[in-house]
Structure 1
Amino acid sequence: MLLAPLRERNYRLWAGADLVSTAGTWMQVLGLNWVVLAATGSAAMMGAVVMLQSLPVLVLGGWGGALADRLPARPALILCQALRAALAFALAAGTGHVLIFAVALASGVISAFEGPMLGRFGSALVPREALGSALALGSVLGSAGRIGGMALGGVLVGVTGPAALFMINGISYLAALAALAAMRAGDLRSLPLAPPGEGGVRAGLRYLVSSPVVLIVLALSFVLGSLGRNYQVSMAAMAAGPLHGGSGAYGLLSTVFAAGAVAGGLLLAGSGRSTLPVLVASGVSISVLQLLSGLAPNLLGFAAALLPIAAGAVVFDTVVSTRVQLDTRADMRGRVLATTGIVSSLSGLVGAPAVGWLADTLGARGGLILCGLVTTAAAAGGALALARVTGGAIPGLRRVAEQPA
């Protein structure tokens, strides 16, 4: 199952281009952070740049999903990749404050429309039965691209300056454009478009309200994403606080987390089991492990807990994406995927400050333990709710009737 998606030529093209593009994207992220921090000395200004990239997804995500269900995915993605390349080359030419904020805002607008398109396009590259493995393998490639991009960018930014990182990112988007152009149109699976009168945001909301399984999955994703996935905050709090490790310890924990993420993606891609019982089991497991991680006596104990947490988090997130695609009508998929993106953005915007506040108020250990208790209760409640609406029991939830893809 692990290599099943790679049998498809179009998927191989896109996977290779995505790896290169993801590495370039994280090089640009590092370069932008460097420029903003060097120019202003303010972490708050860095936060403002991140917020400018997130807000358009919250505001425009519904319309992005509606367009994804009404437009052919491949031409739209070619336009989005070309616009991203232009923004990267603009940063390479100059990095004034106004330009940086404008690029951040424009990138967020593109993401609002591109995200649902990418989700729909992924289901056109592989057979339905290989979709779960394809998404898991994509997660592995994304983690590898992030690690490679940040590592290479960290070396280059001190040698060449940030402009070179922006130029490399722009070139990486050209690789994505070349992959899209080289794909065989005849090998792409047909994606039904929304019929007239059913392509709007309201129609998508009505469909979502009538899909209890998807609503429960999204609710679980929000709670576990906000209180259980903001480990960049809790890792820093633990390293600087009770573990007495400093910046070196934080770097070690970040590396362990990245390694766990890759392992989780490989595990799921190999099994191909993106089912509701796996979703529930991974959600409960990472929540209990989060609670226990707050009791870790030392750095090595905390790192040992982080490894399976990171692996389980990737499994959980990938199964969420897979179920959202498989358990929704093909002509509604873009709008539901857009909702998933909105939930993810809200998780970061709400959860990161909340986890930070809890760490400041209750201490790093107390914050982790309380968040673990809440997410464990939410995961258990979600399991019961899914069992009720599907007429099954955990384990062994009755598989939701699948719509033709």
Structure 2
Amino acid sequence: MSTGPGADSAPAPSTTTTMFSSLRIRNYRFFAIGALVSNTGTWMQRIAQDWLVLTLTGSASAVGITIALQFLPMLLFGLYGGVLADRLPKRRLLLVTQSAMAVTGLVLAALTITGRVEVWHVYLTAFALGLVTVVDNPARQTFVSELVGPDQLANAVSLNSANFQSARLVGPAVAGVLITAVGSGYAFLFNGLSFLAPIAALLLMRPAELHHAERAPRGKGQLREGLRYVSAHPELIWPIVLIGFIGTFGFNFPIWLTAFVHDVYDAGASTYGLLNALMAAGSLVGALLAARRGTSRLRILVGAAVLFGILEIVAAFAPAFWVFALAMVLVGMFGLTVNVTANSSIQTATDPAVRGRVMSLFMMVFVGGTPLGGPLFGWITDAYGPRVGLALGGAISLAAALGVGAMLARAGGLRLKVDLRRGHKHLEFVPKRGGQPVKRLPTAV
């Protein structure tokens, strides 16, 4: 990684990784504080938006359409956002995107508080927010490496997820109270104002302490260059494939949770907020455990994905509410482990010059699959019930995890060894007999 002017004055990144070691870096502390405030507002808006659409239409399919519209721009234009993130100064780019996201929240707040909101307004603002996210997501993901440097990157990625999930603990609970007391509009208002925090954090950072990455020059073929880079590295392409399957088919929680609350448990917005908070608690545990590890291993990614799929199937057929709630805590923990491990392993294995394009592809398949999975699972949930919808999502995620695990083992020249003797590892990957591994992956399988 090259450094820009003034970077030599930045404090050297600590080689010791503890659970919160990245927070010793001043610029990252500001980034994390601003993100915590805006993430809380984001979760409030997500809960309020889903419940508002369900209230206006009475349809899980409409919730799915809203989610699809929010993530459709990532599917259509995601790679272009990565090109911009590689080409432009990320700090200035984030000032623009965070301001634009604030505007979408304030517009929806004004429409809702004045009683003029219709479902097409929600669709339109969701799509507008998605357009901004196309650029904001890869810029924000890759800006982390400029804040902390390579030694603390895996830790900072994990702490970002812990930050997001901490906000998820607070946001849904506050949103549930606000919706019940005064309506959804004030949750949207809080979200719009919450972006003042990350904007202030970006302005207060010390540019001389950033670890500036080399920016890609303007030129033709940059999209193809990024795709060629990923296709040549199995340690990148197979985690991206796995996260695409899980994001498309396994992460349709707004549809499933609203349907379980409304149709199975006959409850209201406060119960929906509670379930989101419980999932967030599990996700927070997963993120902190990832931060403590400090490294990302592909075997952890595959193992967590297998457990994620199994737990979704278990949750789908839970006989009582408390069993369902407990299962969703574990789903949140392993789902977050999948996301963080894939994210940090891909970033650490990628050349900084193409990291924005690689991460945009990662985000495109992770959230860009929602326009396909959202309406599909909204229809399945409406037609066959939430239990069938959730079980099917878990089954597809499980099958994808097993398939990708097999491909990674093959790329690494490994086989699965089963040893049931006491005192021995019962399951482990070992080199195939009769030869060396085909390709040693940078992030160990």
TM-score (norm 1): 0.85
User: CA separation in 1, counterparts of 2:361 and 2:88?
Assistant: 18
What residue in structure 1 maps to residue 442 of structure 2?
A: 401
Q: List runs of 5+ in structure 2 lacking aligned partners.
A: 1-17, 417-427, 431-438
The residue type paired with residue 89 of structure 2 is P
Unaligned 5+ runs, structure 1:
none
How far off is 1:37 after superposition? Answer: 6.1
What residue identity is the alignment partner of 1:106?
A
Q: Kindly report which structure 2 residues correspond to 1:285-324, keeping only aligned pairs within 5 A, or say none.
A: 285-294=307-316, 296-324=318-346
Q: Deviations over 1:320-349 (max 9, x none)?
A: 111221122111111111112211234323
> Is it true that 1:246 corresponds to 2:246 in the alignment?
no
Look up the equivalent residue of 2:328 and give its one-letter code: L
Structure 1 residue aligned with 2:158:
136
Could you list the per-position Cα deviations for residues 345-403 of structure 1 after superposition, in whole angstroms to 9, with x for gaps in the alignment? 3432333444455556776555555554443332222112112223445656886338x
- Superposed, 1:179-328 pairs within 5 Å as 179-195=201-217, 197=219, 200-235=222-257, 245-247=265-267, 253-294=275-316, 296-328=318-350
Give 1:297 shift. 3.9
Kept in 2: contact 1:27–1:165 (CA 8 A): yes
Mapped pair 1:82 → 2:99: yes
Matched letter for residue 401 of structure 1:
P
1:82 aligned partner, one-letter code: S
SS in 2 for 1:247: coil
- Which of 55, 58, 61 does residue 78 from structure 2 map onto? 61
- Tell me how far apart the structure 2 counterparts of residues 17 and 330 of structure 1 sit (CA, whole Å): 25
State whether structure 2 residue 73 is matched by structure 1 residue 73. Answer: no
Structure 1 counterpart of 2:34, from 10, 17, 22: 17
* 1:114 corresponds to 2:136: yes
CA contact (8 A) 2:91 2:202 kept: yes
Tell me the matched-pair count: 400
Percent identity of equivalent pairs: 35
User: Contact between 1:327 and 1:400, CA under 8 Å: does it hold in 2?
Assistant: no
Report the Cα distance in structure 2 between the residues aligned to 1:165 and 1:240, rounded to whole angstroms.
Answer: 21
Q: 1:133 to 1:294 in 2, by over 3 A?
A: same
User: How far apart are residue 10 of structure 1 and its match?
Assistant: 0.9
Q: 1:236 to 1:178 in 2, by over 3 A?
A: closer
Please tell me the root mean square deviation across aligned C-alpha atoms, in Å. 3.2
- Structure 2 CA distance for partners of 1:356 and 1:163, relative to 1, 3 Å: closer
**What amino acid does structure 2 have at the position aligned with 1:50?**
I
Say which is worse superposed, 344-353 or 136-145, in terms of deviation.
344-353
Mapped pair 1:347 → 2:346 = no
Range with bigger deviation, 367-376 or 47-56:
367-376
Q: What TM-score does the superposition give when structure 2 sets the normalisation length?
A: 0.78
1:52 equivalenced with 2:69 (yes/no)? yes
Q: Give the C-alpha shift of residue 107 in structure 1.
A: 1.7
Moved more, 264-273 or 225-234: 225-234
Distance 1:25 1:293, change over 3 A: closer
Looking at structure 2, the residues matched to 356 and 94 of structure 1 have their Cα atoms a distance apart, in angstroms, of 26
Q: What CA deviation, in whole Å up to 9, does each residue of 1:98-143 have, x standing for no partner?
A: 7655533332211111111011101111132322222222112212
